């Protein structure tokens, strides 16, 4: 019996064929992006009907859950950075349609990096202004739709002021991808801080002990803490997990003046 001849591999597509396929995908992408963008006004109308017209639409936990779901989906060529950047732009544009949305950025010793992080996290849609002082950025965040992005500077304990704030809370740790560098800024706004499933809580104390001693004391109570900054007699720690302000373990921690100043989703690529 004659053996069947091995089949020849299909020739690779020509450059013209690849370009034609890209053009078709671009057209379909535009159609889908346009459809998604148009839903922002529908969301705004639904919120108005539900009596939520005067509320800032930012929902950090929901965004993080959406992005984690997308990053967990099978992909062949799209990197986590590409996926996050595209959807951050879509989300930012949607928030702009729903109501006021603006950024105030204080960058400490590296203003350009802080602006870059703000744009990576919130997209190009919201207006952005650079603040001369942390107090100016926090004041802007008290306005409807206002978000402050503030650098973690070694000589400024702006985060300690949040202990006295009624509504302002840390809700974002920047950058949101570990691949984009170490944690170097925080996002603050008058938004509801909810657990996303993989979170980091930010806690401040005036404990006179060293940061390592406070970290050890917390660990004995089952709290994993990482020192982030200290200035002006205060220390800022990042706690692994989502902690409520009245958590008994934190009440037993060193310090007379202490408290939770917010929480944020952990890096999306970890």
DSSP 157-217: -GGGGGGG-SS-EEEEEESSSGGG-S--EEEEES------SSEEEEEEE--SS-HHHHHHH
b/e per residue, 44-60, with b = 16+ CB within 10 A? beebeeeeeeebbbbbb
Inter-residue contact 127 to 100 (CB < 8 Å):
no
Between CA 182 and CA 129 the distance in angstroms is 23
Q: How confident is the model at residue 176 (pLDDT cuts 50, 70, 90)?
A: very high
Inter-residue contact 130 to 72 (CB < 8 Å):
no
pLDDT in tens, 85-108: 999 999 999 999 999 999 999 999
Between CA 176 and CA 267 the distance in angstroms is 5
Of the chain, the percentage scoring pLDDT greater than 90 comes to 88
Chain mean position to CA 95: 14
Chain mean position to CA 171: 7
Mean pLDDT of 56-70: 96
Q: pLDDT at position 204, please? A: 98
Q: What is the pTM of this model?
A: 0.92
Mean pLDDT of 237-248: 97
pLDDT in tens, 141-159: 999 999 999 999 999 999 9
Mean pLDDT of 16-38: 95
Q: What is the mean pLDDT of the chain?
A: 95
Tokens 């590409």, residue? 82
Phi and psi at residue 133, to the nearest 5°: -135, 155
Q: pLDDT at position 5, please? A: 66
């Amino acid at each position: 019996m004659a053996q069947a001849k091995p089949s020849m591999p299909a020739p690779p597509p020509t450059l013209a064929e690849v370009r034609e396929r890209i053009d078709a995908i671009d057209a379909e992408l535009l159609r889908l992006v346009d459809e998604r963008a148009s839903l922002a006004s529908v969301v705004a109308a639904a919120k108005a009907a539900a009596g939520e017209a005067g509320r800032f639409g930012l929902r950090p936990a929901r965004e993080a859950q959406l992005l984690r779901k997308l990053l967990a989906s099978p992909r062949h060529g799209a990197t986590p950075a590409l996926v996050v950047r595209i959807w951050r732009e879509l989300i930012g544009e949607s928030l702009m349609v729903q109501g006021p949305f603006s950024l105030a950025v204080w960058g400490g010793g590296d203003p350009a990096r802080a602006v870059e992080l703000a744009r990576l996290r919130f997209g190009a849609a919201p207006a952005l202004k650079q603040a001369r002082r942390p107090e100016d950025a926090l004041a802007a965040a008290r306005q409807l739709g206002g978000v402050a992005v503030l650098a973690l500077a070694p000589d400024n304990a702006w985060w300690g002021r949040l202990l006295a704030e009624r509504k302002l809370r840390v809700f974002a740790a920047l950058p949101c991808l570990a691949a984009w560098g170490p944690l170097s800024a925080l996002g603050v706004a008058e938004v509801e801080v909810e657990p996303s499933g993989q979170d980091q809580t930010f806690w401040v104390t005036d404990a006179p002990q060293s940061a390592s001693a406070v970290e050890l004391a917390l660990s004995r109570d089952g709290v994993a803490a990482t020192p982030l900054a200290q200035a002006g007699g205060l220390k800022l720690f990042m706690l692994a997990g989502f902690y409520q302000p009245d958590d008994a373990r934190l009440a037993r921690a060193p310090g007379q003046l202490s408290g939770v100043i917010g929480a944020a989703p952990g890096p999306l690529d970890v």
